[in-house]
Amino acid sequence: MRKQTVTTVTKSQATIAYTALVGIFVDVMGLFLLGFASLIGNSLWPQSSEMRRKTRVILWGTPVGFGPGFVVLFTRELNGKQFTDAPFWVWSLQPSYWR
């Protein structure tokens, strides 16, 4: 039988891992904001009236669909908790889960 070894994580290793996760979180949020800014630009200066109508529908649907999830993620990050610690009713308010 193989002997299992227990590895301990030092505080500096945990800090490095947390810093990496925060960096990924910031990068992902930046990409979402960049995409939303692009969508705003496409709705303000469209090539046709049909494109303006379609992009405005997408523009208003994006915050409605993603907004509650972003609010939960931001409040959990500011409080130093994991986003999975949120109660079920909070996640049931997320429209993207209503399939």
Structural domain spans, the chain: 12-97
pLDDT at 54 exceeding the cut of 80: yes
pLDDT band at 23 (very low <50, low <70, confident <90, very high): confident
| pLDDT of 7 higher than 80 | no
Closest CA to 98 of 59, 64, 71: 64
> According to the 3-state scheme, what is the secondary structure of 23-69?
HHHHHHHHHHHHHHHHHHHHHHCCCCHHHHHHHHHHHHHHHHHHHHH
Q: Which pair of structure tokens corresponds to residue 66?
A: 């993603």
User: Angle formed by the axes of helices 49-79 and 11-44, to 10°?
Assistant: 160
More confidently predicted of 50 and 8: 50
